[in-house]
Structure 1
């Protein structure tokens, strides 16, 4: 199974694809879709087309998106929410099931601590995906989101097997 993790952002939308084989994880690809300041509609269109291109190139079976946190800047939060809408729309249009995770849930799953720093998250992503080279910090976050989703899917499968036994 391939899992696409998406770290929403209007300027930089990180993405990462991993392969899941039982409990083993393998890095497939990662990157960032960048937009320049300008018309919001144009930027959202660039994000959508870029994410559709990633989906077409790497054929994931599932996707995961980080939930938006609300900050003091209402306008910034609203724009981030619109980028997050694109992060949900592109995989939904491709027929992918989508998981959504709070930033602390991603950190807790990947690092073991819900308030881990970016460096800790990146270190643990490297431990779980040996040899990975990040395209950017946003791509590293996206890989962490993909790992979080893979671990949650594995947990669900285990519970289903236990119930049927």
Structure 2
């Protein structure tokens, strides 16, 4: 499975492509950061991010896109920009027919470091180690994008099993409800003695 991990942001948007193999084996295919000038109009900055993501999808052919879920920060302006960038990425992926999954920062940190409270240096160190990179990805947005892709590679099988179990439970509930309803109709038709 090829996963495009995206650490959204208006000023720096991290992109990382990882290929998941059997078990927990993962391999980095590409990493980059899209930078947009803070002085440009927001629409132009979002268009630049969209263009970069479209190019990555065309070049690297991911099976899925994993995006960091926006979380509450003290800087509202930063949250809005991050949410806008994440929305543009999701739109571009959806138009390309790719499924999009959102992971919280703590899910990603826990997946790659074992702790949902790891700092950026720990995430970068573990991404470098997990992917057997010669040098740590810089800036942190690049490492975060790779971490998102790794996180999704490792979480996807469990997420698929959970979805299948939920679908099976819903089907069993539907069948049971139909049997109960049929038994009730049969009981009402029986003559009373």
Q: What TM-score, normalized by structure 2, do the two folds share?
A: 0.78
Aligned pair count reads 162
Matches within 5 A, 1:10-21: 10-21=10-21
Matches within 5 A, 1:62-141: 62-131=64-133, 133=135, 134-141=137-144
Residues 28-87 of structure 1, C-alpha deviation per residue, up to 9 Å, x if partnerless? 000011111211111110110011111111100111000111222223322221111112
- Cα pair 1:31 1:136 within 8 Å, conserved: no
| Structure 1 unpaired stretches of 5+ | 161-165
Matching residue of 2:42: 40
Q: What TM-score, normalized by structure 1, do the two folds share?
A: 0.91
CA distance in structure 2 between the aligned counterparts of 1:99 and 1:142, rounded to whole angstroms? 13
1:147 pairs with one of 130, 135, 150: 150
| Structure 2 unpaired stretches of 5+ | 165-193
- Cα pair 1:33 1:51 within 8 Å, conserved: no
Higher strand fraction: Structure 1 or Structure 2? Answer: 1
CA distance in structure 1 between the aligned counterparts of 2:69 and 2:160, rounded to whole angstroms? 23
The structure with more radius of gyration: 2
RMSD: 1.9
Q: Which has the higher mean CA deviation after the structures are superposed, 129-138 or 17-26?
A: 129-138
Higher RCO, 1 vs 2 (CA within 8 Å, ≥6 residues apart): 1
Higher helix fraction: Structure 1 or Structure 2? Answer: 2
